[in-house]
Chains A and B, each alone.
Chain A
Amino acid sequence: MTSVDTAPVRGEISDRGRAERRLGLLLSTPAVVVMLLVTAYPLGNALYQSLFSYRLTAPDDRRFVGLDNYATALTDGLFWQTVLTTLVITVVTVGVELVIGFALAMVMHRAVFGRRTVRTAILLPYGIVTVISAFAWKYAFDVQSGFVNSWFGLGDYAWFSDRWAALFVIVLSEIWKTTPFVSLLLLAGLAQVPRDLGEAATVDGATAWQRLKRVTIPNMKAAILVALLFRTLDAWRIFDNVFIMTAGQEKTQVLSFLTYQQIITRTELGLGNAVGVLLFLSVVLIAAVFIKGFRVDLSQVRGDR
């Protein structure tokens, strides 16, 4: 940062300008330092440790193995099963959330009555701790405590003994908890669609569906892409719901959970960190695809003009 500071910027800078730069950098320092401290060094450390065979319970057996841990992870069926589970959760969650979120945003945008009620209602799940949402849905479907089976006449169907049934409940909890965020982002996008465009289309005889497809959605593309990017990355990192509901049983591990399990439960620091680094790389890849491929306009997200 300081090297940038001393770089000459065309012509002379006034004393006032120099003081302003110094103050600007000074004010930003604490936040940048904390963010770097918790991410840069540990990430470097994770990379380093992933090159060793190292179990916390047997520190003397620690030895350098190069990329062996990555090879182990990438050739293991469990890893790819985990990737598949994470992918299914992400695609289904984000897809459903976009549809419901858009509907909710439309209601908030168009509602003449009850706008406040809807907005407050929508914020409730946002405020609830994810772990509590996970417990609520788990207990609702649970054979012992739940009401779902008796309401729908399912007898003693064990939701959490089947991979896809368990994933269904996990996805349900995730959707309930995070759709509000999506709908608020989309609502802000709807507010940016020029009203007269829709009216002009109506005059020209466009149906509601045509207006939605040709006018509304193209004009709020930026908001949709931002919501899509944030939720995709969020869903890809899903952890809390899986931990509480199944603890990875019945083939419901996700990438975050696998990393946690290897490092904390099994104290396999080498292999666990390798999985953690792979998770990090996959997040970078997803972000890059969105930003380069779909040209998500992040200048709005970053807040620069």
Chain B
Amino acid sequence: MESTRSRALWIVVSLLILVWTAFPILWIVMLSFKTPSEIGNVQGFFPQDWTWENYETVFKTDLFTSALINSIGISLIATFVGVTFATLVAYAIARLDFPGKRLILSFALAIAMFPVVSLVGPLFDLWRDIGLYDTWPGLIIPYISFALPLAIWTLSAFFREIPWEMEQAAQVDGATSWQAFRKVIVPLAAPGVFTAAILTFFFCWNDFVFGISLTSTDNARPVPAALAFFTGESYFEQPTTAICAAAVVVTIPVVIVVLLFQRRIVAGLTSGAVKG
């Protein structure tokens, strides 16, 4: 009797939480299906006339399609390079004895606390001097450096848990050192690297400050910045519904990743900060 009641209670509580976290996303989806003329005339949560029109507008707008390509390309490259660098550092920290270990970890912590806006002016200047302004590398470089701390913590916490003795054990059993690395260490390390990659990608995907300050055209402008400037364009209709359609397009992949890898993401977010 008691258990049925507590079961019902937990279900109600979890549903309430789900409503709170999913509600704004649902709202954006609803807006994206409204006709542009509904904005300002009809107030309500659900669309009066459902339409795909906004999605057509969005994919016909060069500003958005190029921003989508920029965001995907820049975030993927930054993630790949960043996670590679972080893997090297994390391996060194977890496995090797060398001076400056604590210094590197403290430095990474300082970077994580850095107010990025303070750098916008000088980077803006420097990038224009050396021709990185409004280019992919001009965003990739800052993304890497500010995503590195989280990746380094996640990976070094993860690498410390790996039973490295198994590598020697495999070599004793006759495997070459390359085989031992590939067949034993890589499978053990892969989940941690993958988690770090997801977190790094989310970080780059989310950036706004660098996106608006270090780009000026659709050459390198990423999605969040493009969405912000979409408003300013002189359309005869309100851009609200089109912005929402674009937002839904970039949100769907994230929601899928969260659903698929929630356990990994939770482990990654907490391992670096507090050991549980």
Which A residues are closer than 8 A to B by beta carbons? 1, 4-5, 7, 9, 17, 20-25, 27-28, 30-32, 34-35, 37-39, 41-43, 45-46, 49, 104, 107, 111-114, 116-133, 135-137, 139-140, 144-147, 149-151, 176, 180-181, 184-185, 187-189, 191-192, 222-223, 226, 230, 233, 236-237, 239-240, 243-244, 255-256, 259-260, 263-264, 269, 272-273, 276-277, 279-280, 283, 287, 298, 300-305
Contacts and interface: CB of A to CB of B under 8 A. Distances in A.
Contacts of A104: 17
B163 interface: no
Contact of B107 (A35, A135, A185): A35
A43 B114 CA distance: 10
Interface string B127-155: 00000000000000110111010001100
A284 B57 CA distance: 46
B86 interface: yes
Given A45-B122, A283-B115, A185 B270 contact: yes
Contacts of B184: none
Nearest to B269: A184
9 contacts: A22-B98, A23-B96, A31-B88, A43-B119, A127-B251, A132-B224, A144-B40, A151-B45, A184-B266
Interface string B97-137: 11111101111110111111111111111100000000000
Counting from the closest, the 7 A-B pairs by CB-CB distance are A24-B98, A114-B14, A42-B122, A188-B276, A45-B122, A276-B118, A302-B105
A43 B142 CA distance: 13
Given A237-B117, A243-B228, A303 B276 contact: no
Contact of B28 (A127, A132, A223, A259): A132
Contact of B202 (A17, A127, A269): A127
Nearest to B119: A42
Count chain A CB atoms within 10 A of each CB in B7, B91, B109, B276 and give the residue with the most.
B276
Interface residues of B, number: 102
Given A139-B244, A264-B213, A42 B123 contact: yes
Given A34-B144, A42-B122, 4 more contacts: A42-B123, A136-B27, A233-B113, A287-B113
Interface string B249-276: 0110011011100110110011011111
Given A5-B99, A46-B119, A31 B240 contact: no
A181 B269 contact: yes
Contacts of A184: 266, 269-270
Interface string B58-84: 000000000000000000000000000
Nearest to B253: A127
Contacts of B20: 176
Contacts of A151: 45
A20 B92 CA distance: 9
B224 A131 contact: yes
Contacts, number: 329
Contact of A187 (B112, B153, B247, B270): B270
A234 B131 CA distance: 31
Interface of B: 6-7, 10-11, 13-14, 17-18, 20-22, 24-25, 27-28, 31, 39-40, 43-45, 85-86, 88-89, 91-93, 96-102, 104-109, 111-126, 141-142, 144-146, 148, 152-153, 156-157, 160, 202, 205-206, 208-209, 212-213, 223-224, 227-228, 238, 240, 243-244, 247, 250-251, 254-255, 257-259, 262-263, 265-266, 269-270, 272-276
Contact of A185 (B105, B259, B274): B274
Contact of B21 (A30, A31, A124, A237): A124
A169 to B, nearest CB: 12
